[in-house]
Amino acid sequence: MYRYVLRRLLLTIPVILGAIFLVFTIMSLTPGDPGTLILGMTADKEDIEALNRELGYDKPFLVRFFNYLADIIFRFDFGDSYRTRTPVFQEIFQRFPNTFYLAVGSMALSSILGISLGILSAVRQYSFIDTFFTVMAMFFAAIPGFWLGLMLMLVFSLRLGWLPSSGVDSWRCFILPTATLSAGGAAGLMRLTRSTMLETIRQDYIRTARAKGASETTVIWKHALKNALLPVITSMGMSFGASLGGAIIIETVFGMPGLGTYIVTSIRQKDVPAVSAATLLLSVLFCLIMLVVDLLYAFLNPRIKARYTS
């Protein structure tokens, strides 16, 4: 098992490097230069060229990229923001907790709702409850997240006045963004859980357990659920990554000072160090989440667990 964990950690290195290289390339190919964006269109051409030289934009692309990697690896220096001239990680970690709380909260809510409603729909197949939750899951999976956020804001903030529409001053500010971000994930997990539960309860060993006199509660929760959750757990890892990406849109809708709004602003200003550092953080976090998911999958699946420990 330790060798598997070490191998997975080593495999994350090319993934992270690839993500950084892709972002670095895209940002370099976008029109404009940092000197003009920082100083403005009315600045002297000599000042703009001097600033671009200071930032290393007089060097070839690959030289700038490997210099950036060398600063990260050997000095743990992610550079200063072109906009504020302050260390980018200092700015990122001021905003990252809001994004992390939003992503974790939405993942927890979508997992609880999606799995529980999926199990309920499976054991009540073809009933009104099954039909209702299936239709609702299709509805929330189809509507855009930004539209749902605007509708929730209109109803619960502007009309009823129950919840704030923006800010991060209290936990109440996270209710609407969390509900918005978790809706699509809960719908997907509900449909997947229902499908895997229906497939599992049709297996021979489930019929055997019922024939031996086991109660329906024991059959569902002890025998069927553990095997049915295996593909769901894998999907939960991907859903968490999608939540981190979806937070960019949701934070913009609700005006939250998180990592998403920071990335959007940095892209508009062609702030390469800021975008690259944020991408690095998200890549590392996503790789760690997928590692945890794989380990949990191996723990729940005896065949895979035996192969890893052998």
Residues 220-257 pLDDT 10s: 877 787 778 777 877 777 777 777 777 778 888 888 88
Q: Locate tokens 């309860």: which residue?
A: 201
The answer to the question of residue 289 being in a domain is: yes
What does pLDDT average to over the chain? Answer: 81
Provide the residue type at 282 as one letter: L
Residue 196 lies in a domain: yes
DSSP 87: B
Count the neighbouring beta carbons within 10 Å of the beta carbon of residue 292.
13
Do both 69 and 106 map to the same domain? Answer: no
Reply yes or no on whether the pLDDT at 293 is more than 80. Answer: no
Range of the domain at 70: 31-75
Residues 251 and 282 grouped into a single domain: yes
Highest mean pLDDT among 1-5, 39-43, 210-214: 210-214
Give percent above pLDDT 90 in the chain. Answer: 1
Residue 308 has pLDDT above 80, yes or no: no
270 residue type, one letter:
K
Q: Determine the number of helices (DSSP H) and then strands (DSSP E) in the chain.
A: 14, 0
Within-domain flag for 80: no
Name the band, by pLDDT with cuts 50, 70 and 90, for residue 157: confident
Instruction: Note the pLDDT of residue 301.
Output: 64
Total domain count, the chain: 2
Residues 129 and 171 in one domain: yes
* Per-residue pLDDT at 216 exceeds 70: yes
43 shares its domain with 166: no
> Does 198 share its domain with 137?
yes
Euclidean distance between CA atoms 113 and 108, whole angstroms = 9
Shared-domain flag, residues 213 and 156: yes
Average pLDDT over residues 64-71: 84
Q: With a cut of 80, say whether residue 141 has pLDDT above it.
A: yes
Tell whether 26 is covered by a domain: no
Residues 51 and 93 in one domain: no
**When comparing pLDDT for 118 and 54, which is higher?**
118
**Is 19 inside a domain boundary?**
no
269 in a structural domain: yes
pLDDT in tens, 81-90: 877 778 888 8
Beta strands in the chain (DSSP E): none
| CA 183 to each of CA 72, 159, 200: distance values in angstroms, whole numbers, following the listed order | 37, 21, 26
Q: Do 141 and 93 share a structural domain?
A: yes
The reply to whether 109 and 231 lie within a common domain is yes
Q: How far apart are CA 53 and CA 56, in angstroms?
A: 5
- Confidence (pTM): 0.76
Domain of 250: which CATH number? 1.10.3720.10
Residues 56 and 101 in one domain: no
Calpha distance 108→115 (Å, rounded)? 11
Q: For 160-190, how does the pLDDT look when each residue is reduced to its tens digit (9 = 90+)?
A: 888 887 777 778 888 888 888 888 888 888 9
Q: Which is more confident, 302 or 35?
A: 35
Mark which of 14, 46, 75 sits at the end of a domain. 75
d(CA 248, CA 290) in angstroms, rounded, equals 20
Residue 132 binned pLDDT confidence (cut-offs 50, 70, 90): very high
Q: Which two tokens stand for residue 2?
A: 């330790």
In a domain, 82, yes or no: no
Whether residues 49 and 184 fall in one domain: no
Whether residue 305 has pLDDT greater than 60: no
What pLDDT is recorded for position 147?
Answer: 86
Residues 138 and 280 in one domain: yes
Asked whether residue 156 is assigned to any structural domain, the reply reads: yes
pLDDT at 44: 78
Q: What is the mean pLDDT of residues 265-288?
A: 81
Give the burial class of 159: count Cβ atoms within 10 A of its Cβ; 0-12 exposed, 13-18 middle, 19 or more buried.
exposed
